[in-house]
Chains A and B, each alone.
Chain A
Amino acid sequence: MSYTGAQILMESLKSVGVEHIFGYPGGAVIPVFDVLNKTDFKFILTRHEQAAAHAADGYARITGKPGVVIVTSGPGATNTVTGIATANMDSSPIVVITGQVKTTLIGTDAFQEVDITGIVRPITKHRYLVKNIHDLPRIIKEAFYIASTGRPGPVLIDLPIDISLGTVEKFSIPDKVNLRGYKPNYKGHPLQIKKLAQAIKEAKRPIVYVGGGVKWSGATKELREFLEKTQIPVTSTLMGLGVIDPDYKYYLDMLGMHGTVYANLSINESDLIIAIGVRFDDRVTGKVETFAPNAKIAHIDIDSASISKIIKVDIPVVGDAKQILQELNKIVEPGDYSEWQQFVLKLKEENQLDLPHGDGRLHPQWIIKRTSDLTNGEVAIATDVGQHQMWVAQYYKFKYEKQLLTSGGLGTMGSGLPFAIGAAVAQLKERKPVIVFSGDGSIQMNIQELATIKHENLPVKIFILNNSYLGMVRQWQELFWNRNYSGTFLGTGTKYYPDFVKLAESYDIPAIRVFKEEEVDDAIRKALEYDGPYLIEFVIEKEENVFPMVPAGRGLTEIMRGMA
């Protein structure tokens, strides 16, 4: 008996627990595809390699397990680049396997040759070029280990066709990885944890600032326990939405550029920031020099390079959020925060988000709010990038830690629909619906994926908020560039454009268009009740803006609450 590289690849993928694979074929991976449909893997053919990478990323975001992509060499490989960069920025574990020309042809500008490991070097956690068939099982094993441990991230494996075609008499999959340069540290230093507990006890105005790291760590339970114990006010980044119980009394919702007034002002007043699994992104801190001027900063993060990267940290705790919170929960004792708690509650009461509705117009905020209510805040939500993304963050009340799939760090338009594909595939057995909120701009950046969701009959509900604009950019032009709407109008005049309902129909996906507030509930219900893909085009106010807003580069207290 002998095995080909392609067979070894499949066996190795099976051994690390892979069940689903996203991808697109081509010359350099025909040998791989030739064995693929003889395996038990569920293969999802996307209609673009970028979408395959995003779908794998979406799969990873909802399951916490690495998403897998197989594409061909050259253009197949380069098409995944935006997807890889998107995953990398948000620390999402994906493993991308690209075909490559024969090892003997590498470097000769052969047909569909591209130096993909060179191209993705700055946007992957690690990458491999397989040069010897005997290395293949080890490389697969290592790739999945690297992608999913420590701070998760994308790993790329470049697989030359002579390796997948090559044969060996026998092979073995190592059961352990041995990487002398990679030893992620999960346990926090006990002394640092003690210091943190001490600081919490002594603080008068502490605030917890959580993010994507809590989600990747799976530390929601421990975090909620910590909050229950201490009753400290808490705010979340975009990437952390869902980790806090929306009914927690001192939950201040999202902070940052489009965060709530009460979250941003509370951060500003605090004397101790307990940052957990966050990276002090500039969308969050605003002007760094004025961020939390009176606060000591404690930071729990698995990546020591995250700590003190932007802001000097006083109490660093390097390790996994879950393990550290478990230890912290054993010893933590709250101080007296009663004044502070009253202060933040008052801020919260007095600065609730506006919810424009009932004025004969169709406001996007209302659509999200109704979706949140009608789904009881329990459905997986993917978004694209733009105003609609921020409205989702503001008006949907997320309950679960891996419920929101959104491109935060790279802000990749076009990621939403493929994210939803990944999420729907991961939940295929339960046939749980996934809603994707998109914009008229973003949806057209991977619109071909309508074919994928139809073909796979995925319960993906596409809610397009059509404002005829690249709304987020238009908003900046309106507020800061004299309303010079250069390059941002997507419509054709008064009519909605394109006709998304017809477009959906041509993909054989049922669709309706909604103009009025009164039609919103019915439309949402209809979409959710339908078993399979469904599209709603909401024709919304064209020049609605996202508020509150801290203009880029300003301090968190310089908040625009609405149009002057």
Chain B
Amino acid sequence: MKKHIINVLVENQFGVLAQIAGLFSSRGYNISSLIVGETEDPTLSRMTIVVEGNERVIEQVIKQLNKQIDVIKVVNLTHKDHIARELALVKVNATKQTRQEIITLASALKGDIVEVGKDFILIEFTGDEHTVENAIELMKNYGIKEMIKTGKVALSK
């Protein structure tokens, strides 16, 4: 089953996030990630939803989203030229011996060193799914204390 990236433009209003999230859970759609944020227009929010399903399911997802009164526009970006980004904050174990090596590697992976502590380094990775996944994978060699990764945010080109 394929993952689809769907952008949804909604009224920036109380309850809309719960409504959209609820729609997915009550209809049993498989949601991988959902991000909501501000847009160029303060009365609107944009959601990027990554959802798994066959063509029939995705067609229903889009129709059901469109049916919501507070939804203004739904775009399936999957088949469109688009750009998608994720962000991860990774707190990696670091000792005197490994610190420099981690910093070098993180920089090579286009990571930003956010903080260096006594026994850890906090790194921020941003990029497409592959870049971020790859970075996290390599960091695992040093032991990850804690991490968080966002879902995708996407825009059509």
- Chain A residues close to B by CB (< 8 Å): 117-118, 121-122, 125-127, 129, 131, 146, 179-182, 303-305, 308-309, 312
Contacts and interface: CB of A to CB of B under 8 A. Distances in A.
B72 A181 contact: yes
B67 A121 contact: no
21 contacts: A117-B15, A118-B15, A118-B18, A122-B22, A125-B69, A126-B69, A127-B15, A129-B15, A131-B14, A180-B72, A181-B10, A181-B69, A181-B72, A303-B67, A304-B66, A305-B60, A305-B64, A305-B66, A308-B56, A309-B60, A312-B56
A103 B68 CA distance: 25
Given A122-B26, A181-B72, A305 B67 contact: yes
A44 to B, nearest CB: 29
Contacts of A129: 14-15
B69 A304 contact: no
A127 B69 CA distance: 10
Contacts of A182: 69
A122 B64 CA distance: 12
Contacts of B72: 180-181
A181 B11 contact: yes
Given A118-B15, A304-B66, 8 more contacts: A127-B15, A179-B69, A181-B10, A181-B70, A181-B71, A182-B69, A304-B63, A305-B64
Nearest to A118: B18
Nearest to A309: B60
B59 interface: yes
B140 to A, nearest CB: 40
Contact of B22 (A121, A305, A309): A121
B19 interface: yes
Contacts of A126: 69
Nearest to A303: B67
Contacts of B22: 121-122
B156 to A, nearest CB: 19
Contacts of B70: 181
Interface in B3-27: 10-11, 14-15, 18-19, 22-23, 26
Contacts of B64: 305
Contacts of A179: 69
B13 to A, nearest CB: 10
* Interface residues on chain B, size class: 20 to 34
Contacts of B15: 117-118, 127, 129
A146 B18 contact: no
Contact of A305 (B11, B14, B56, B63): B63
Contacts of A131: 14
A188 B68 CA distance: 21
Contacts of A180: 11, 72
A325 to B, nearest CB: 23
A126 B18 CA distance: 13
Contact of A146 (B19, B59, B69): B69
Interface in B36-72: 56, 59-60, 63-64, 66-72
**Residue of B22, B60, B63, B66 with most chain A CB atoms under a 10 A cut-off:** B63
A11 B1 CA distance: 53
Nearest to A305: B63
Nearest to A155: B69
A312 B71 CA distance: 25
B69 A121 contact: no
- Give the 3 A-B residue pairs with the shortest CB-CB distance, closest first: A305-B63, A181-B72, A122-B26
Contacts of A122: 22-23, 26
B89 to A, nearest CB: 31
Contacts of A305: 60, 63-64, 66-67
Contacts of A303: 67
Contacts of B18: 118, 121
Contact of A181 (B14, B56, B60, B68): B68
Interface string B57-100: 00110011011111110000000000000000000000000000
Contacts of B71: 181
Contacts of A304: 63, 66
Contacts of A309: 60
A305 B64 CA distance: 6
A436 B23 CA distance: 36
A195 to B, nearest CB: 20
Contacts of B14: 129, 131
A181 B67 CA distance: 9
A182 B23 CA distance: 17
A121 B19 contact: yes
B7 to A, nearest CB: 14
A149 to B, nearest CB: 11
Nearest to A127: B15
Contacts of A118: 15, 18
A309 B71 CA distance: 20
Contacts of B59: 308
Nearest to B59: A308
A131 B15 CA distance: 13
A160 to B, nearest CB: 13
**Chain B CB within 10 Å, residue with most, of A117, A127, A305, A308:** A305
A98 to B, nearest CB: 15
Nearest to A131: B14
Contacts of A127: 15
Contacts of A181: 10-11, 68-72
Contacts of B60: 305, 309
A415 B60 CA distance: 31
A122 B66 CA distance: 15
A543 to B, nearest CB: 38
B31 to A, nearest CB: 16
Interface string B95-124: 000000000000000000000000000000
A117 B66 CA distance: 20
Nearest to A128: B15
Contacts of B23: 122
A117 B59 CA distance: 27
B43 to A, nearest CB: 9
